Amino acid sequence: MSPERAREIAACLDLRALPADFYANPFPVYARLRETEPVKRLPDGSYFLTRYADLVAVYRDAQAFSSDKKVEFTPKYGAGSALLEHHTTSLVFNDPPLHTRVRKLIMGALTRRAIADMEPGLVKLVDSLLDRIAERGGGDLVEDFASAIPVEIIGNLLGVPHADRGPLRGWSLAILGALEPRLTAEQEELGNRSVREFTAYLRELVADRRKSPGDPEHDVLTRLIQGEGAGEQLNESELLQNCVFILNAGHETTTNLIGNALVALEEWPGEKEKLLAQVRATANDPGAQEAFMATAVDEFLRFESSNQLGNRRALQACAVGGTALPEGALVTLCIGAANRDPAQFANPDTLDLGRANNRHLAFGFGIHQCAGLSLARLEGRIAIARFLARFPAYRLTQSPTRGGRARFRGFLRAPFAVA
């Protein structure tokens, strides 16, 4: 995108009417906004933040900025709709005390030990996917690899039988797609139907789990059903909607992490060669491989964050970045822009897989920092390292197709071949 085009889009930015070239590459627009209007007033009266320091300030101040979306989402989805019930009940779009209760229950099943115990099964899953790719001589990085991993991992966490996992990705894409700033009638209808179908399925799964509980140390659904103690149980809506949320949050973002990383390596051949050299050199040293792959995964997350946008509502009149905000102001936190802020990151538009002190915001910050960040990092580390070790000469056979969404940045398709 040319500087002139970036300037043109930035000047009249409207999240409800974004042009195709923005979806392809929004980063020049974000850079222009950081430099000229870091707290930009949008046509709908909301505010769009692009500086790292400003995002951190909002994340830190949970007293002044609410994550509750009832005010914002009721007119968007309509009172009584399935999408409204889901998105205003799930963990990410709530404030304490509901947020605190649900997060505590989820984190109890995502301890360091529990995540470490998942690694052997994850390695087996990834290797089975790589075997299928080898048999066919290629495939699609998204459909045949990136998206297949989190569906299985989250399915295991919730104890969803393998035979029932077919619809999970479609439901997730439809429900998350309804979060886009501009919602078509078709997206709204599909999103509502997906919430209804998913919760109907979960009611049966919950009933079965009540009769035959799993291990609450590893089974998130059992843990959510049982709660931590008196007064900690979730009601039916809270339980069902947060199970939907766990699948959605763990699925789309991790799919994008893996897919974005493997495409980026094709676009940055120098970094790919460095990473390949490290994978080969540490093939027999798991600890060393884990360390450098953890650094690489964080750089992939910073460079092209799976989740590009967050939202808050000002509970009182306040100021951000020197700009006064009125009570009730709706604020969009542009994670994708903050993660390329030169005030925080040297050479931010360069993919540097050895980048140190990488305090990116891909998982948010503060009380709403992603509860599954350690699991996502594990999935990304294992998937990318083992893919490279198996197929170092993989190549894209067509230009990958972007998902066409502003909030979640990833690919729908990325056909590739292996040597």
How many CA atoms within 13 Å lie on the side-chain side of 254?
Answer: 32
* pLDDT above 90 (res 226): no
The CA distance from 41 to 369, in Å, is 26
Cα-based angle 393, 399, 400 (whole degrees, multiple of 5): 90
The CA distance from 84 to 67, in Å, is 14
pLDDT tens digits, 316-344: 999 999 999 999 999 999 999 999 999 99
pLDDT tens digits, 345-392: 999 999 999 999 999 999 999 888 887 888 899 999 999 999 999 999
pLDDT tens digits, 20-73: 999 999 999 999 999 999 999 999 999 999 999 999 999 999 889 999 888 889
- SS3 of the chain: helix, strand, coil, percent, to 5: 55, 10, 35
Domain ranges in the chain are 3-417
The CA distance from 115 to 109, in Å, is 9
pLDDT value for 223: 81
The CA distance from 260 to 393, in Å, is 17
Please, which residues bridge with residue 395 across strands? 417
Q: Which CATH class is domain 3-417?
A: mainly alpha
The CA distance from 360 to 344, in Å, is 9
pTM over cut 0.85 = yes
Distance of CA 167 to the CA centre of its chain: 19
pLDDT tens digits, 288-318: 888 999 999 999 999 999 999 999 999 999 9
Q: Is 291 helix (H, G, I), strand (E, B) or coil?
A: helix
